[in-house]
Chain A
């Protein structure tokens, strides 16, 4: 997968050697930090990711990984630092505005719209993709029909990435666990993001499901040309799929680099994988 790397240019703070030189990064995070009542949860977090890249965020439980996602989506407002999304500072924006600017996410503890159907879940993701107003919906004007029809087709085609188009009318809460995780990804994609944040997408999946997921994440990246950042404890997945990895411990980045570098990094091995641990399996 790394053959296409043509030229390695280290961007300061970047976790991934930039492939497309001259193109500004999609997401640039500088010195990001947040305190909760005197407790520093994340500090001095520097991170850069470009279009088409898959980055990994790993670290022991409680290291602050999900907090980083919450900061990136402005669920929490940072105490320090900046997030530049396509060059735009997202400080002070609402979560939905950040989503409109191009960040979509999934949740560690699945947050689907459980009593709604799979299709409705995806259509809600496409809310801002449709533009018809309240009047058009009450009077069922042509704008309603046209956009709803297109949206439905688009939703089904997104679902087909995971072969879920036949489940469109099933209630999301009735899906098996793995399918719920996949639906969250589809819903996030439906918001037409530039960056997809996946919070433990493989949690609870068996090895064959995980392998399939890995393949699909790559396919999504290639098809939509978006950046993916994932938090994951499954080292096999992370090492295989990510082009760059940042390791977080106690809210700080302790190492950054390619999977190969992370695997060899003694600091990581000690802090995260345990002193004598092999780098390929299990979390700390």
Chain B
């Protein structure tokens, strides 16, 4: 099956990919900031970006690790509140120049880290369970996070989250550019991890935990690692969300939000990052496009979900993943098509 196909040597591939990505980010930012794109459209694009990060982060735990957490919105909430409280505390809106961007970067990283810490705290006990039980226990943790955010102020004795009335006047730091940057960085980091011995260890747990363990993989460690990564990026997305909306309510991070994110991952195809990106885009844009029929859109949405499961349960893309280099290589080898269904890219 080995053919003498032309392939792009390794360092070249990374260089090409990097250049293409940078060009894409710059071009799209220039385009969005031009007059051709309305403010309304830009906002939708930002929400799409935030949802993409949520979907690819959940995909780590669901698609790659093969577990089914139902409390992802909880990690998003932790990130959102961390980011929101931090941005308010340092009064980022009044900062200028470099300090402003430093605050944004700090808020994003801090949100990710705090959410990641919650990921460890919840993951260590929860990942002892499997399958449905893991789903339920994460659901429980997600709900507890929501309840705590609603009621913590009365315990602390001072205003931190402002309870059910919500955390308001958060500096609106989220722009198209920083959403885009976060999306790209998240994708790249996740990709780099997954195409390494650590990523393979995570995949091996999904495939067969007992076999993974007898191949010398520290399954508990890697489960918690994947779970923590998943929480980290959800936290980053939460921070962007806080900076986008400018106000937060605990009720927006309930069970339904977790399900919404899960649906994006499942529809895209679990284990496919490209699938998550596409379905997050479509599922965010579609309701907006259907706004005129807003009464019907949720019904349509749920019908699509059920029909999809009955007729194409592997999701749109299965486990297929996108690789720029592979497309370039295909262009370089016009007549040869491998014919084999490839599961994941190998670069």
| Residues of chain A whose beta carbon lies under 8 Å from any beta carbon of chain B | 73, 75, 94-96, 99-100, 104-105, 107, 111-117, 120, 123-128, 130, 132, 134, 136-140, 144-145, 147-148, 151, 166-167, 169-171, 187-188, 190-191
The number of residues on chain B lying at the interface, defined by a beta carbon within 8 Å of a beta carbon of chain A, is 34
Is B153 interfacial (CB-CB < 8 Å)? no
| Contact A99 to B197, CB < 8 A, known contacts A111-B210, A137-B192 | no
A140 & B193 in contact (Cβ 8 Å cutoff) = no
The distance in angstroms between the C-alpha atoms of A45 and B198, with both chains bound, is 38
The distance in angstroms between the C-alpha atoms of A145 and B197, with both chains bound, is 11
- Number of A-B residue pairs, CB cutoff 8 Å, is 112
User: Can you report 26 residue pairs joining A to B where beta carbons are below 8 Å apart?
Assistant: A75-B213, A75-B214, A94-B213, A95-B213, A96-B213, A96-B215, A107-B211, A111-B208, A111-B210, A112-B211, A113-B204, A113-B207, A113-B212, A115-B319, A116-B203, A124-B203, A127-B201, A127-B216, A127-B217, A137-B196, A137-B197, A137-B199, A138-B192, A148-B196, A169-B340, A191-B215
B343 & A117 in contact (Cβ 8 Å cutoff) = yes
The distance in angstroms between the C-alpha atoms of A123 and B204, with both chains bound, is 10
User: A41 CB to closest chain B CB, in angstroms?
Assistant: 18
The distance in angstroms between the C-alpha atoms of A19 and B204, with both chains bound, is 39
Complex contacts, B200 vs chain A, CB 8 Å? 116, 120, 123-124, 127
The distance in angstroms between the C-alpha atoms of A147 and B200, with both chains bound, is 14
Task: Count chain B CB atoms within 10 A of each CB in A107, A134, A151, A191 and give the residue with the most.
Answer: A134
Task: Count chain A CB atoms within 10 A of each CB in B1, B14, B198, B203 and give the residue with the most.
Answer: B198
Task: Count chain A CB atoms within 10 A of each CB in B203, B213, B215 and give the residue with the most.
Answer: B215
Complex contacts, A128 vs chain B, CB 8 Å? 216
A127 & B203 in contact (Cβ 8 Å cutoff) = no
| Contact A166 to B2, CB < 8 A, known contacts A75-B210, A117-B343 | yes
Is B10 interfacial (CB-CB < 8 Å)? yes
Complex contacts, B201 vs chain A, CB 8 Å? 124, 127
Complex contacts, B204 vs chain A, CB 8 Å? 113, 116, 124
Of all A-B residue pairs in the complex, the 10 with the closest CB atoms, nearest first, are: A137-B196, A113-B207, A111-B211, A99-B216, A95-B213, A128-B216, A124-B204, A111-B208, A138-B192, A130-B197
State which of B197, B211, B225 has its C-beta within 8 Å of the C-beta of A123: B197
B1 & A166 in contact (Cβ 8 Å cutoff) = yes
Complex contacts, A166 vs chain B, CB 8 Å? 1-2
Is B130 interfacial (CB-CB < 8 Å)? no
B189 & A138 in contact (Cβ 8 Å cutoff) = yes
| Contact A140 to B219, CB < 8 A, known contacts A95-B214, A113-B208, A171-B343 | no
A127 & B215 in contact (Cβ 8 Å cutoff) = yes
State which of B192, B212, B217 has its C-beta within 8 Å of the C-beta of A140: B192
| Contact A140 to B14, CB < 8 A, known contacts A96-B213, A166-B1 | yes
Is B6 interfacial (CB-CB < 8 Å)? no
State which of A137, A151, A171 has its C-beta within 8 Å of the C-beta of B193: A137
Is B346 interfacial (CB-CB < 8 Å)? yes
The distance in angstroms between the C-alpha atoms of A137 and B225, with both chains bound, is 14
A127 & B197 in contact (Cβ 8 Å cutoff) = yes
Complex contacts, B197 vs chain A, CB 8 Å? 123, 126-127, 130, 132, 137, 147-148, 151
The distance in angstroms between the C-alpha atoms of A99 and B211, with both chains bound, is 11
A187 & B215 in contact (Cβ 8 Å cutoff) = yes
Complex contacts, A187 vs chain B, CB 8 Å? 215
Complex contacts, B1 vs chain A, CB 8 Å? 166-167, 169-170
B207 & A115 in contact (Cβ 8 Å cutoff) = yes
Complex contacts, B212 vs chain A, CB 8 Å? 113, 124
